[in-house]
Chain A
């Protein structure tokens, strides 16, 4: 008996160590991706110039590093982290592998908010207006899901169906508004839906950071509850989890992170769906590790995609939404084909 307990304990420690190692590796990979992103750019600064510019005001090089490259790379990391984390939360609370900020309609609602502002509220501070519109409608979407879920005791099926319904509603409204817009407005809308990090600045980063990172402590504290929820609503309730409340908080937190991620950058799809799956395939579904690791994987994907997007066809930039799909999908397929057993 003792030997079995010890073996189990050793096995648990080994697995926990493996997961912790993955967390460390993901962090190292993210740091490497950030350094690569910081080193590559159109003005061809040498590594020595970059190092000097990082710590001393060298005029143009200093401005390029501190005002253009660093905000861009950090925003990419933040957005990827937020989307990866939000996707994991949505998949956990709905117990559905297809759940993501976009399949739940939060992304479509944010897009509709952005389009509304682009078409009807021109004028100064455009980036903040668009971000405000995107954020407001992402929250409207979360509120809609919450309202319907509360009426139907927050079953995952109800939430998914509500999300899909509102995804179609907001997509249709966006199409209608696009139809009414001028050619120029339609262009702007189209490019918002491609996603871009060019407008990332320190002020935008600070707002996005608050929205993305604020729910993180609460999510990590509820990691065990997410694990129990995976066994089913009844089992989780039997073990003392308030499933309805957990789902409500999950929707609010996921929507907040999604809105914070895309309001300044436009739609960067796919990461929220795939980053959790990639991570789950490697380290399993223990949310104590899965939550931060999926965020880190999402951050690596977005930072790498942005760096590739602005170097593959330089100086032309390939929209980040396209590159994330190009690098994420093959990797996702690779992992999917290598898995011999069900991972979900």
Chain B
């Protein structure tokens, strides 16, 4: 009897690996997708996915990458040499199919549903994850860990991130002060409103986003409105190319100085006190949002985080999870004195 049971168990594992067991997962679109296992060949269509796969030590399963990855060869290392499948917004379906992947991973909105339709013709599975969203990042990393049978690695990253978030929350809970913050997205005079990654980061860092009452994620606003809201801290997202190899914060400082010089903004407390900061896209939302939040807590609650070093958190992340040395510049300096 025991022999029969053992044989049946062995057979079920064998058929599972050869003919493909499956697991049901929920992706960023809220779809319940039955994914056939094992996943050994993955095509990735954005940098957030690549970063998460590297965190899970699954980069060797990547067989195809989006073309824009070539812009940061120093950060991505050998992944840049993988076959390219075109732009993250409009990939080459034929190139993806030729790589015969078990799974293609894309953002929830880009590319459009045509990706699923075309990949279905080749029996290729598609999953959509938005690793740039802070509130769903942990859940999605755990789903990836489950799919790739790398639950331990996923838990390690989630615990690490959770530890810092808890530490921030505990310290911030000690004060009722919530500074008014103006978060400006990449385009000038576009606030980060409710539903945006910048808003989530601001709230997690213990700030009061002045655009929280607006109705869309990235509303265009007038400079006068910002003046009338009196923000105590201003944080702007910027993308100056490859932050990992930036030797100095010159470009960030130029952006910050431009904000300090905006007409009539000298009446804003954040500007008069010099509490204006520019943050690189690498730590603005996405898998490294925790690093961005680490900088924000220091800007918003300097008295609570005086001895806290966000760079150390970043170093830990890069060296532990990404396997690359800490390099680059990701935020502007504190201005030495207020500009005229």
* A-to-B contact residues, CB < 8 Å: 41-44, 59-60, 63-64, 67-69, 71, 122-124, 126, 179, 182-185, 187-188, 191, 196, 198-199, 201, 310, 314-319
Contact = CB atoms under 8 A, between A and B. Distances in A.
Nearest to B211: A315
Nearest to B88: A183
B254 interface: yes
Among A69, A310, A316, A318, max chain B CB count under 10 A is at A316
A37 to B, nearest CB: 12
B228 A44 contact: yes
Contacts of A182: 68, 71, 239, 281
Given A123-B254, A179-B87, A69 B224 contact: yes
Interface stretch (B76-84, B117-125, B154-162, B215-223): B215-223
B145 to A, nearest CB: 27
A199 B188 contact: yes
Chain B interface residue number, banded: 35 or more
A64 B227 contact: yes
Contacts of B224: 41-43, 64, 68-69
B228 A42 contact: yes
B192 to A, nearest CB: 12
A42 B186 contact: no
5 contacts: A67-B263, A198-B220, A199-B189, A314-B225, A317-B221
A187 B188 CA distance: 10
Contacts of B220: 191, 196, 198, 316-319
B251 A198 contact: no
Contacts of A60: 227, 264, 267
Given A184-B238, A317-B219, 7 more contacts: A41-B224, A42-B224, A42-B225, A179-B90, A182-B68, A182-B239, A185-B239
Interface string B270-300: 0000000000010000000000000000000
B223 A122 contact: no
Label chain A's interface by main secondary structure.
loop
Kindly name the residue among B222, B223, B228 whose own CB sees the greatest number of chain A CB atoms within 10 A.
B222
B253 to A, nearest CB: 10
A182 B241 CA distance: 9
B258 A124 contact: yes
A188 B228 contact: no
B214 interface: yes
B187 interface: yes
A315 B225 contact: yes
A41 B68 contact: no
B91 to A, nearest CB: 12
Interface string B161-195: 00000000000000000000000011111100000
Nearest to A186: B89
B303 interface: no
Given A43-B227, A71-B263, A317 B254 contact: no
Contact of B264 (A67, A185, A316): A67
Given A43-B228, A68-B227, A191 B190 contact: yes
B215 A68 contact: no
